Amino acid sequence: MSPADEPAEAASASDDDAADGPVRRAERLLRWYPRPWRDRYGAEFTELLVSDISERPQSLRRSLDVARGGVQARLADAGLAGFPLPVATVGGVGTPAEQARQRQVSASLGAFSAALGAFLVFAAALWSQVLINWQWFAKLNPGLPATSTVRRLDQAPGGDAFFAVFSTDAMLVLLFLAVLAAMPVLAALVGRIARGRQPGLTGPAIVLVAALAVLFTGGRHFENNWVGTGGHHALVPSGLAAFIWALTLFVSSWWAHPALFATLPGAEQAWMALSPVILAVAVGSSTVLVRRVRLSPRVAAFEACLGLLGCVTMAAFVGCYGVWITAKVRLEPGLPLGLTVGATQATIIALLILALAVAAQAARMAARAVRRARA
Amino acid sequence: MAKRDASERADGSALAGFGRYAGPATLILSSLADGPKHGYALTKDVESFAGVRLAPGTLYEALARLESQGMIEALAAEDRRRPYRLTTAGATALKAHLAAQARVTEVGLRRLGANWSTLKWGTA
């Protein structure tokens, strides 16, 4: 290469850099979108972005528009908004538009199952913790005067008794609906795995079974430390209450009190750290399975209907909890340990409301997609 | 006639059901009524006849919705650009939607014209 060639090469390299700049920026913007969307529209969308960036190098409006579109596409991919991608899947039945509607039903039901799983975990934790507090307070203070907080709340509508009975009913209804919804999905899952018709199910199914086995074993072991003795066992079998308490032990104000937390046995501390991960794995793998297993239109409609019923029950639980906590604060602002509205309970309320909002949106989208698929 | 009106209302509401994307969807379908176009050509064409520049995210959100509803279809990609064309369902929906818009426009203009000389409106 002669020295005379160097400027030409440098200019060429500079041109390449200039051309790469918009491409790199376009590719960065493309990351806002989920993978299925990028697989379908990525190449052409990048071309459009490159042209747009070349014309208008700086545009905040474009960046915000792409970000908003990407979030919208991610919500659509999660079955929580918008329209499904009009692409055919390998082994899918029907036209691409029909397959897209089926995918939206699956995605929305998957999102609902994830929200329901999260709601059940936190609601169960709240329910078992409050039940323990209530029972212990009653047991440790047998001689309390009739005007004491617990006695007074026991007798008052909107007090502990109301919350304990109503929340237990709501939890049992939710569990019943969850089991009812799981049965046809389980049947479809087993059938498809046994016939080997649909790949991508066996792995998540094994993970789910393993996670449930660990949760069952751990829950049975740590329920022996159940502190909810005495009180109102008639509401729910104490063994079941102890098991649920052990499963949700990690949702505890002990985390916020290092001195108290340090006094717990090492195994219990380890379980408090491990169980949320296992619960997340169980909820995650069941969500993947619900999204992947192809349900018949009739089963999908049944699931969507149960989803709407589940939302009503969840709303009743949250409403009941709101009534209870309001009554507590109103009757006695400075309640003993565990009965105050602390950061843990406030966080749980926020999480319950968030899970309810996601579940309601997912159920609504599933019902809409089912109606469209029927039409 | 009544049957035809009902059919047009149904088709028009299909496009109106796009919510905030009804406007971009109408512009895209109007552009494709002239023949297949890819994303960049659509942007330029809409800008030329409507004076609106569709941002990339909005354009592709509307394209995806139109495609999932079967109102447009993708053709084979040319290089990295993929043209789209109007389907019969899309043409029917566009015609009904524009006819509904035209009726609104006609009524609005007629009423404005009838009252223009009397200036019945406030000055604020």
Q: How far is CA A91 from CA A129, A289, A338, in A?
A: 48, 17, 54
Cβ of residue B65 closer than 8 Å to a chain A Cβ: yes
* Residue ranges of A 82-111 with Cβ closer than 8 A to chain B: 82-86, 97, 100
Q: CB within 8 A of A30, min separation 6: which ones? A: A38, A42, A45, A46, A49
Which among A52, A69, A86 is the nearest to B68, CB-wise? Answer: A86
Cβ of residue A46 closer than 8 Å to a chain B Cβ: yes
**What is the pLDDT confidence band of residue A65, given thresholds at 50, 70 and 90?**
very high
What residues in A contact B43, CB-CB < 8 Å? 48, 52
Residue B93 within a domain: yes
**Residue B108, both tokens:** 């609005």
- What beta strand segments (E) does chain B contain? 72-74, 84-86
What residue numbers bound the domain in which B46 lies? 2-114
Kindly determine whether residue B57 and residue A66, on different chains, have CB atoms separated by under 8 Å.
yes
Closest residue of A to B43, CA-based? A48
In the predicted structure, residue A214 carries a pLDDT above the cut 90: yes
Q: What is the pLDDT of residues A78-105, one digit of tens each?
A: 888 877 676 655 555 666 667 777 788 8
Kindly determine whether residue A44 and residue B43, on different chains, have CB atoms separated by under 8 Å.
no
The CATH number linked to B61 is 1.10.10.10
Is-contact A244 A128, C-beta < 8 A?
Answer: yes
Interface test with A, best of B13, B38, B40 (most A CBs within 10 A): B40
Give residue for tokens 């969308």.
A45
Chain A and chain B share a number of CB contacts under 8 A equal to 72
Q: How many domains does chain B have?
A: 1
Stretch among A41-45, A118-122, A312-316, A333-337 having the lowest mean pLDDT: A333-337
Which among A47, A68, A70 is the nearest to B40, CB-wise? Answer: A47
Q: Which residues of chain B have pLDDT under 70?
A: 1-13, 16, 119-124
pLDDT of A150 = 43
Interface test with B, best of A29, A33, A44, A53 (most B CBs within 10 A): A44
What residues in A contact B24, CB-CB < 8 Å? none
HSE at residue A156, side-chain half, CA atoms within 13 A, is 18
Query: Angle at Cα A256 formed by Cα A254 and Cα A262, nearest 5°?
Result: 55
* A199 vs A193: CA distance, rounded Å: 8
Residue B6 within a domain: yes
pLDDT of A192 = 86
**pTM tops 0.80, yes or no:** no
Residue B67 within a domain: yes
Q: How far is CA A303 from CA A108, A170, A219, A297, A343, in A?
A: 10, 19, 29, 10, 35
Query: What is the arithmetic mean of pLDDT over A121-143?
Result: 71
Q: Which residues of A13-22 are buried (b: 16+ CB within 10 A; e: fewer)?
A: eeeeeeeeeb
Is-contact A346 A103, C-beta < 8 A?
Answer: no
Residue B123 within a domain: no
Residue B75 within a domain: yes
Residue B119 within a domain: no
Is-contact A71 A32, C-beta < 8 A?
Answer: yes
Kindly determine whether residue B56 and residue A62, on different chains, have CB atoms separated by under 8 Å.
yes
Cβ of residue A69 closer than 8 Å to a chain B Cβ: yes
Residue B42 within a domain: yes
pLDDT of A256 = 65
Kindly determine whether residue A86 and residue B81, on different chains, have CB atoms separated by under 8 Å.
no
* A307 vs A109: CA distance, rounded Å: 8
Residue B120 within a domain: no
Which among A43, A45, A67 is the nearest to B60, CB-wise? Answer: A45
Q: What is the pLDDT of residues B73-107, one digit of tens each?
A: 999 887 888 999 999 999 999 999 999 899 999 99
